[in-house]
Structure 1
Amino acid sequence: MTHLLIVNSHVLDVHALTLRSGLSVLVSDGRIAAVGTDLSVPAGCTTLDARGMTLMPGLIDCHVHTVASSFNLGGVARQPNVFVMLRALPIMKAMLERGFTSVRDAGGADWSLAEAVRTGLVPGPRLFSSGKALSQTGGHADFRPRNDDLDACSCAYKLGNIGRVVDGVDACRLAVREEILKGASQIKVMASGGVASPNDPIGNLGYSEAELRAIVEEAGNANTYVMAHAYTPRAIARAVRCGVRTIEHGNLVDAPTAELMAELGAYMVPTLITYEGLANEGERYGLPAASIAKIESVRGQGRQAIEILARAGVKMGLGSDLLGETHPLQSDELRLRAEILGNGPVLQQATLIGAEILGQSGQLGEVTAGAIADLLLVDGNPLSDIRCLLNQGEHIRAILKDGLLHKNTL
């Protein structure tokens, strides 16, 4: 049994949004064994003096694409699986070094990547993978170009493709069952058009209601849930009425739709930072022209969407959704949201609410006895200055995941 005692830090209480001084935190075998004063310490326990620093939960990003090593997702989809895997490894390692100890992959990453991290084979955040996102023919995960004859889509088998093309109620049921069998933690569905795909305008709907309800039912049968890519009020309202639990992006949401989400207990995972990255770097790094033309139709309303959702009382998780060379912008999602909502609510989105979305309340996202010891020691106070969590984790002095020190510069 391994033990670590952290002393002299200011513990961030993400429930009350306060710093608690004078507490010690005992970590034993990957979990927080105790938080308090005058703790009984086992023999041979290592002590970490964190004087003046903030001890806080590891961050949770609820929308990443760890295999998206390029802006051109269609190009990634055609790469050999080994190349895709090798290019994903530094992306995951960098996420952990920024303080993201858990991430939910929204299409592409599979059980093997999650298991490689879990078993310590490669460094990275705890990975909740969706397997292949489900897309109708011509939907947001169908990267085939227009042609007289459409080639059969190989997307169900290539690791680099974030989704698979599937049509019809029975085929959707089978696809969900297959993704669950292959190890998906939750199911992702493309419920509207999107930016990074060639032939689906933002305003298009994805799937019939019968197909969406079948996908939700099958996920529920497996004791999990559905997350849906959707932008417009029509697509969002339709998805949550069909039982979708989390909406991804949602830039064009309006007040009545936000109120419907709150009424039905649906979560939103906005992804503001990806549109900054796409707009500023997309053309330079190979984002197709058709996708570049779509960016401004959703970018400008992202901040307004955050305000609308907050007024309606919709719970929001933190998401980044970055591609290619913009992965280093991940932590800037905190900054963008803090400019709108303030630091405290955004820290809760990146910890407590993220844990709720993952079905890990009490296990992740808080510094309490019994929780998994995913912890950050930060030089600074994120409640007053969110910048101490930016810049690739340079102010994060130590990172624990499952109670093990991944980084320690004390």
Structure 2
Amino acid sequence: MTRTLLVRNGHVCDVETGEASVQDVLVSDGRIQEVGTGLSAPSSATEIDAAGQYLLPGLIDAHVHVSAGTADLGAQAEDSPFYVAAQTGRILKGMLDRGFTTVRDVGGADFGIAAAVAEGLWPGPKVHFGGKALSPTGGHADLRGSGRQVLDNHACCPNIGTVVDGVADVRRAARAQLRTGADHVKLMLSGGVASPTDRVDSLQFSAEEVRACVEEAENANRYVTGHAYTARAVNRGLKLGVRCIEHGNLIDASSVELFLEHDAFLVPTLVTYEYLHSEGAAAGLPPASQAKVADVLEAGLHALDLASKGGVKIALGTDLLGDMHRHQSDEFRIRGQVQTPAQVLRSATLVGAQLLGREGELGVVAPGATADLLLVDADPFADTAVLAHPERHLRMVLQDGRVAVDRLSGSTAASA
């Protein structure tokens, strides 16, 4: 049965130009059919009066861990997969309630989570997944403490990553993720905060291992994204063919040049450091990881400013863990310190869609696009607070042309 929806008289946001104009949007079978004034629809169509509201594309968070119900990822690796799944369902619903209709999971989510959302078993954003991130022994996804020798790498364990060493193992692991339908493969190219035994400034994987993973991803028409902080790690990854860099807090001008040369993406995740600093201990972040937060916290805004002014393609990411997921929207406020509201919104829509290979389908309000749409009660091009505070400003979420969250008519969805 054809489902038709007409949203009338909303201020439709063109995220590319940063302008909004009063128009109607006609939706049928989950896709936008027309955008214009005075549109008509069949008598059976549902109409939404959006007068005074701003209509924009659903948001894309390009760096999440939807299964991370705690900041102690090492402990979660030993939890029941059923318990982790229950936490995942709650986390996904919270993201949708905040206006995120698509996310890219870069460690932990698999084909089962993506299918659960796609089939309507869980309310949540569409999940682009990479499966388990690849880490060398002692690397960012090796979550054993320094005194523990036993490693359980079983595919069913709820780890965010898997430990592999050597070119042959990297190829096998990359193929294993791609076999399940993964949209990308993630490599840990440097140390990180949440891992117990590596330094933030360390390099991880040999050049040969990185090249092998890039080749496997390219053979499958997919790409490699890399966790990296320092300019040394970022630049090395870009030169070896990595298409996207996660975090990049310590990049420099040479990194910006390489991003442009290789047409690569950057996904900063500033909000996670702010809340790891203030709430990490309460959320389960181990002491060894708490001590590393300061290494990257102060540099993040400078790196974002450098990349933004340099013309790097920047997507929006958050990387939150445990109870800190509730701060997801605060990434808009933080980025607003160095970027305009239009630039931040573009990162969370157009650029995110480009990274996912779904240009024209996601991130725009245009004919042919998926009808993932938000109604907010103020101009998102004027103030990042509009999207930073969905509990105040977000009135409705449409996903695939269906009303997923409705605060416009008085019913309020619960957030997690």
Shorter-chain TM range is: over 0.9
> Partner amino acid for 1:12?
C
1:40-84 deviation digits (Å, cap 9, x = unpaired): 423411110011000000010000001111110101111011011
Q: Is the CA contact 2:283–2:324 (under 8 Å) kept in the aligned structure 1?
A: no
Q: Is the CA contact 1:109–1:131 (under 8 Å) kept in the aligned structure 2?
A: yes
With normalisation by structure 1, the TM-score equals: 0.97
Give the SS at the match of 1:107.
coil
Residue of structure 2 in register with 1:189 after alignment: 187
Distance 1:219 1:299, change over 3 A: same
Q: CA RMSD in A?
A: 1.1
CA separation in 2, counterparts of 1:85 and 1:222? 29
CA separation in 1, counterparts of 2:366 and 2:295? 43
1:342-381 deviation digits (Å, cap 9, x = unpaired): 1010110000000000111000000000000000011111
CA separation in 2, counterparts of 1:12 and 1:181? 38
CA separation in 2, counterparts of 1:394 and 1:90? 21
Residue of structure 2 in register with 1:143 after alignment: 143
> Partner amino acid for 2:261?
E
Residue of structure 1 in register with 2:291 after alignment: 293
CA separation in 2, counterparts of 1:322 and 1:155? 25
1:119-268 correspondence runs (5 A): 119-147=119-147, 150-154=149-153, 156-159=155-158, 161-268=159-266
Give the SS at the match of 2:380.
coil
Greater shift after overlay, 178-187 or 219-228? 178-187
> Partner amino acid for 2:370?
I
Q: Is the CA contact 1:64–1:104 (under 8 Å) kept in the aligned structure 2?
A: yes
Greater shift after overlay, 364-373 or 35-44? 35-44
Q: Compute the displacement of 1:264 (Å).
A: 1.1
Q: Is the CA contact 2:191–2:201 (under 8 Å) kept in the aligned structure 1?
A: yes
1:186-222 deviation digits (Å, cap 9, x = unpaired): 1111000000001110111110111001101101111
CA separation in 2, counterparts of 1:299 and 1:111? 33
Q: Is the CA contact 1:77–1:155 (under 8 Å) kept in the aligned structure 2?
A: no
Instruction: Work out the number of aligned pairs and report it.
Output: 407
Residue of structure 2 in register with 1:33 after alignment: 33
- The partner residue of 1:315 within 290, 313, 316 is 313
Distance 1:393 1:360, change over 3 A: farther
Q: Is the CA contact 2:331–2:388 (under 8 Å) kept in the aligned structure 1?
A: no
CA separation in 2, counterparts of 1:259 and 1:393? 39
Q: Compute the displacement of 1:183 (Å).
A: 2.5
Greater shift after overlay, 217-226 or 178-187? 178-187
Residue of structure 2 in register with 1:53 after alignment: 53
With normalisation by structure 2, the TM-score equals: 0.96
1:141-171 deviation digits (Å, cap 9, x = unpaired): 0011223x72133353312x10000111111
Q: Is the CA contact 2:62–2:104 (under 8 Å) kept in the aligned structure 1?
A: yes
CA separation in 1, counterparts of 2:12 and 2:39? 15
Gaps of 5+ in 2: 409-416
Distance 1:284 1:408, change over 3 A: closer
Greater shift after overlay, 176-185 or 293-302? 176-185
CA separation in 1, counterparts of 2:308 and 2:223? 23
Q: Is the CA contact 2:137–2:163 (under 8 Å) kept in the aligned structure 1?
A: yes
Give the SS at the match of 1:231.
strand
Gaps of 5+ in 1: none
> Partner amino acid for 1:33?
Q
Greater shift after overlay, 175-184 or 114-123? 175-184
Residue of structure 2 in register with 1:91 after alignment: 91
CA separation in 2, counterparts of 1:393 and 1:58? 16
Residue of structure 2 in register with 1:101 after alignment: 101
Residue of structure 1 in register with 2:364 after alignment: 366
Q: Is the CA contact 1:355–1:365 (under 8 Å) kept in the aligned structure 2?
A: yes
Q: Percent identity over the alignment?
A: 49
Distance 1:247 1:294, change over 3 A: same
Report runs of 4+ in structure 1 exceeding 4 Å deviation. none
Residue of structure 1 in register with 2:75 after alignment: 75
Residue of structure 2 in register with 1:13 after alignment: 14
1:105-149 deviation digits (Å, cap 9, x = unpaired): 0100111011010111110001001100000011000011223x7
Residue of structure 1 in register with 2:413 after alignment: none
Residue of structure 1 in register with 2:411 after alignment: none
CA separation in 2, counterparts of 1:406 and 1:390? 19
Give the SS at the match of 1:229.
strand
Q: Compute the displacement of 1:392 (Å).
A: 4.3
